[in-house]
Amino acid sequence: MAEKLGGVFSFPGTGLTVNRVGFGAMQLTGPHIFGPPKDREECVRVVRRAVEEGVNHIDTGDFYGPHYANWILQEALHPYRDDLVIATKVGAYRGGQGEWVQDHSREVLEGSVHDNLRNLKRDVLQVVNVRGLGLAEADPNFDIRPSVEVIAELQHKGLVQHIGVSNVNAAQVAAAQSVAPIVCVQNMYNVAHRADDALIEDLSRQGIAYVPFFPLGGFSPLQSDKLNAIAASLEATPLLVAQAWLLQRSPNLLLISGTSKVAHLEENLKAGALYLPPAAVETLDSIAAQDGPTA
């Protein structure tokens, strides 16, 4: 099972080991990640099928919906298998119209931890990512240390096991590490958006997981003639090739592609078994280098 799902990765200093092909829960919600999903039963089936097929790393956030993604995970999977790792995020909440409000006040950070505990129905959160500011690029002026300190306090109280960071640059990862051990970093990265290449190498040397969000391009699915050509030559789909490329990119890279459809999930789970020969990797590497993000 592990080989089929890209092999395993152990979060440093945690005792938590996961298959590298995981699942992202953000798509288990309504349009613009707000409200309930169109087909809740299908979303429940997606999550159950993922775990049946060996997925044991799920990324979520109580601000997805808000609450709906976590409620669906709970409905589909509670009581949770012992080997299932659910990672969540804090540092923002949703306003009444669905707007994203970045907020790193103690009140919001602590409240988010409790929201995740309640809506996932867990006594402790295994991994909490402290989200920085910025999406495609981290805001370099944001000091992440006070937020990590708040979560580290909750760690000492036993509500949080391990801490990660998200939407951060290398300096912010180091700043977070000055407060507490960091087990994973979650940033935007895919075959066409490779700003984090150096960071991935550095984290790999430290044994820290790199978890790319928007692995398939997120709201704008990846489109590239080169991706299409490689996919055709391997009798795979372009998005499957994009996921296989990520898995081959670095052994510390964990996939959390998101979908609300069982058919798409089943396709995505094949990424771990798709080997890309060196010539294909070379062509795929040239997408970001030559054509930029919209290649």
Ligand X SMILES: NC(=O)c1ccc[n+]([C@@H]2O[C@H](COP(=O)([O-])OP(=O)(O)OC[C@H]3O[C@@H](n4cnc5c(N)ncnc54)[C@H](OP(=O)(O)O)[C@@H]3O)[C@@H](O)[C@H]2O)c1
The owner of tokens 């010539």 is: 279
Q: In whole angstroms, how close is the CB of 157 to ligand X at the nearest point?
A: 24
Is 239 one of the binding residues for ligand X (CB under 6 A)? yes
CB of 268 to ligand X, least distance (A): 5
> 68-77 and 106-120 helices cross at what angle (nearest 10)?
30
64 is annotated as an active-site residue: yes
Amino acid present at 6 = G
CA distances from 133 to 66, 147, 168 (A): 19, 12, 8
Footprint of ligand X on residues 251-270 (CB under 6 A)?
256-261, 264, 267-268
Interaction between residue 221 and ligand X (CB under 6 A): yes
Annotate each residue in 89-128 with x if it binds ligand X (CB under 6 A) or - if it does not, as one string: x---------------------------------------
DSSP string, 173-220: HHHHHTTS-EEEEEEE-BTTB-TTHHHHHHHHHHT-EEEEESTT-TTS
Nearer to ligand X, 36 or 156 (CB): 36
> Which residues, 155 to 184, sit near ligand X by CB under 6 A?
166-167
By C-beta, is 235 or 278 nearer to ligand X?
A: 235
Amino acid residing at 74: Q
CA distance 13 to 16: 8
What span, in angstroms and rounded, lies between the C-alpha atoms of 164 and 65?
22
Distance of CA 147 to the CA centre of its chain: 20
Pick from 65, 164, 217, 272 the residue near ligand X by CB under 6 A.
Answer: 217
Strand partners, 57: 85
Name the segment binding ligand X (CB under 6 A); options: 100-108, 112-120, 154-162, 214-222.
Answer: 214-222
Q: Is 215 in the site for ligand X (CB under 6 A)?
A: yes
The answer to whether residue 25 forms part of the interface with ligand X (CB under 6 A) is yes
Q: In the bound complex, what is the minimum distance in angstroms from residue 165's beta carbon to ligand X?
A: 10
User: Could you say whether residue 140 binds ligand X (CB under 6 A)?
Assistant: no
- Of positions 22, 29, 59, 117, contacts ligand X by CB under 6 A: 59
Q: Which of 35, 111, 218, 251 binds ligand X (CB under 6 A)?
A: 218
Kindly give, in sequence order, each residue whose CB lies less than 8 Å from that of residue 124, ignoring residues fewer than 6 positions away: 117, 158, 159, 160, 161
Task: Report the nearest approach of ligand X to the CB of residue 22 (Å).
Answer: 9
Minimum CB–partner distance for residue 126 and ligand X (Å): 15
Q: Which tokens hold the place of 276?
A: 């890309």
**Residue 74: CB minimum distance to ligand X, A:** 16
Q: Which stretch binds ligand X (CB under 6 A): 1-9, 18-26, 147-155, 196-204?
A: 18-26
Contact 207, 7 (CB under 8 A): no
How many C-beta atoms lie closer than 10 Å to residue 257's C-beta?
Answer: 27
CA nearest neighbour of 272 among 244, 235, 231: 244
6, 22, 24, 272: which one binds ligand X (CB under 6 A): 24
The number of residues that bind ligand X (CB under 6 A) is 27
DSSP assignment, residue 272? G
Binding site for ligand X (CB under 6 A): 24-27, 59, 89, 131, 166-167, 186, 213-218, 221, 239, 256-261, 264, 267-268
Q: Which residues are catalytic?
A: 64
